Structure 1
């Protein structure tokens, strides 16, 4: 009696994950652009790069839904009775379609994951790039991610060299893959390990920079929490890495006692989860401002209207004047200036109109310069 399917091996779960994450990502990216436009900020590299990340993620979702519709994902092997031998020795349509869907999907994985990582790094550069040391480090990370993306994209595309027929041919079978292609699980494991390591590094980059700012502890914690929302992506990449490691240890690939269709389904499902969650999480810092604006402001305005008072609205407006990085993701990083200081003209406070604009958008972490950070 075959073992019951795990939830991520079932057709309905695969389709639900693909469709729901694509919808969430589409909404998130649209709201990201809407928020930037609403704040009258020009779109930067970290915004634009989310478009290819979204489109490729949608492509992965389409591949998964197509695979399920053809019975090539989310179901057990169904070897025609007229074929003699194990699934490793015979060629049949179901497994051939599964291989094609797998190849198409894993070719897109490095591109999506690389785009998401690059978006985070470009965002950090826009926020934290206030000295040469930080800027050089962030640029080096961007270059590293670019090399990682290109390297593993071509490694997957040419995993069988120029023998593309081994994957796309009419007589697809495992025997051809073992004879003409690299060890699939070793390639998948190398992608998983490097993907997880770069995710961890990228997520923790803002934390030491924030804690060197001249801010109260509460504001440092709040700011760190916003950036650490990206840890959700780490969880997804870690889960996929654990599954790949377990599958490699059990040698499930090219094992006549394992269901190849379910093995492929498991791997592609968690790839979709990581890409879908990654796109959504990359948009969260920008969407924080939108959520704060609609919730906090609407409550204050409603309360002021109910009490017939304008003080609450005026307090909200005055508070907004002191938000620097809050213009980017809805959290105030600057201490409130005294009333006497705010009442002075900008030139009397040593701030030009242009430099003030630069600080609130291009370099909202301007206070970092005066914090003694290296």
Structure 2
């Protein structure tokens, strides 16, 4: 986009880039990624907070104190949540560049964008460090795993740590610079670094997904359990897909600089933010999966809600059993009543014959017993 804006131009009615179709800009009700952004941030924030909460409950109940990986996870959640809130506050530009007036890129938007750039590196580092330190805790007896996890932490620390001072230089005005549209061109100079970072993101996600699998497959477990345990860690494949998409959008952002029409920078940037957010939240949740399983076994299973449900189920079963016993008892009483009723309908003659038959049977029984005694 050219910065040669004629004096007196109404920036509220001038788009950032011309529409490739030649159609006039739509400033009133344009296609936007804002709703997707709002829904995604809200949903992922609730899910991630719940999962991290379960993890903390499990650790506190079992260990009585938090470990390094727990602190990394909690810090990553706070930084990612701040990142998501900033994205929602910048949703005014989550539309095509030809539907975005230049006036939207004001001082407030630029300051939020600068804060967003500074948050990205630390948030991504602590999210991935939570997974690495989790591996160190679970597989601490495996030598090569310790080296691999520590190596990943060092590489990621250098990569994401370098981003903070770089963005501090290119996202903020210095000297005669101001918070204006010219600052966006300055920030655009780090696009190549963004592509390199995206490539490292993809490589690190694949690495973190793959390294626990060989250990799990050697465990003395059934094949079904080993596959299930591997699947727990492989849930991070969602984050990997988001990372690949993020790399694609970073490349598109870089290409838009060479588009004679200015490209579609605002739309691509909004899509990139969404993929970054998904990667961050999913990485956090992946690091919490073992803790969540432990929480379910140790805490939720004994919680008031679960206990109440169990009590209701057991009461229902007991009630059903009593009902069956009662039905059987009534059926037995019915048979007895039927016999008594049959006896009640006998005539005096029949009663005499019945009594005589009973006495004869008793006499036969006594005779048999006497004979057995004599023998």
What's the offset of the Cα at 1:155? 2.5
1:288 counterpart = 2:293 = yes
SS at match of 2:170: coil
Query: Quick one: distance in 2 between partners of 1:125 and 1:15?
Result: 35
**When the two structures are aligned, how many residues end up with a matched partner?**
289
Q: Quick check: 1:32–1:283 contact (8 Å CA) kept in 2?
A: yes
Structure whose alpha-carbon radius of gyration is higher: 2
The question of 1:148 aligning with 2:148 is answered no
1:292 Cα offset (Å): 5.5
Residues 220-299 of structure 1 aligned to structure 2 (within 5 Å): 220-249=226-255, 251-252=256-257, 256-291=261-296, 294=300
1:36 aligns with 2:59: yes
Cα deviation code 1:235-261 (max 9, x no counterpart): 111111122223334x25786433443
SS across alignment from 2:235: helix
> Among residues 110, 125, 145, which one is paired with 1:114 in the alignment?
125
Q: Name the structure with the higher helix share.
A: 2
State the alpha-carbon separation in 1 of the partners of residues 225 and 99 from structure 2.
58
Unaligned runs of 5+ in 1: 81-86, 309-374
| 1:73 positional shift | 3.7
Q: Does 1:57 pair with 2:59?
A: no
CA RMSD of aligned residues (A): 3.4
Give the 3-state SS of the residue equivalent to 2:60 in structure 1: helix
Structure 1 pair 137–65 and aligned structure 2 pair: CA distance change class (3 A): closer
- Deviation for aligned residue 1:42: 3.7
Question: Is structure 2 residue 219 aligned with structure 1 residue 204?
Answer: no
Per-residue CA deviation, residues 72-121 of structure 1 (Å, 9 max, x unaligned), is 444756677xxxxxx6xxxx453554443333213211211111111101
CA distance 1:290–1:161, change in 2 (3 Å): closer
The change in CA–CA distance for 1:146 and 1:301 in structure 2 (over 3 A counts) is: farther
Greater CA drift, 283-292 or 226-235: 283-292
Distance 1:307 1:78 in 2: 64
Q: Distance in 1 between matches of 2:175 and 2:311?
A: 63
CA distance in 1, matches of 2:258, 2:176: 20
* Contact 2:105-2:181 at 8 Å conserved across structures: no
Q: What residue in structure 2 maps to residue 188 of structure 1?
A: 194
Asked whether 1:173 is paired with 2:181, we answer yes
2:11 match = none
Query: When the two structures are superposed, what TM-score results if normalisation uses the length of structure 2?
Result: 0.66
The answer (yes or no) to whether the contact 1:98–1:261 under 8 Å persists in 2 is no
Q: Using the alignment, how far apart are the partners of 2:316 and 2:258 within structure 1?
A: 66
1:304 Cα shift? 6.8
What TM-score, normalized by structure 1, do the two folds share?
Answer: 0.66
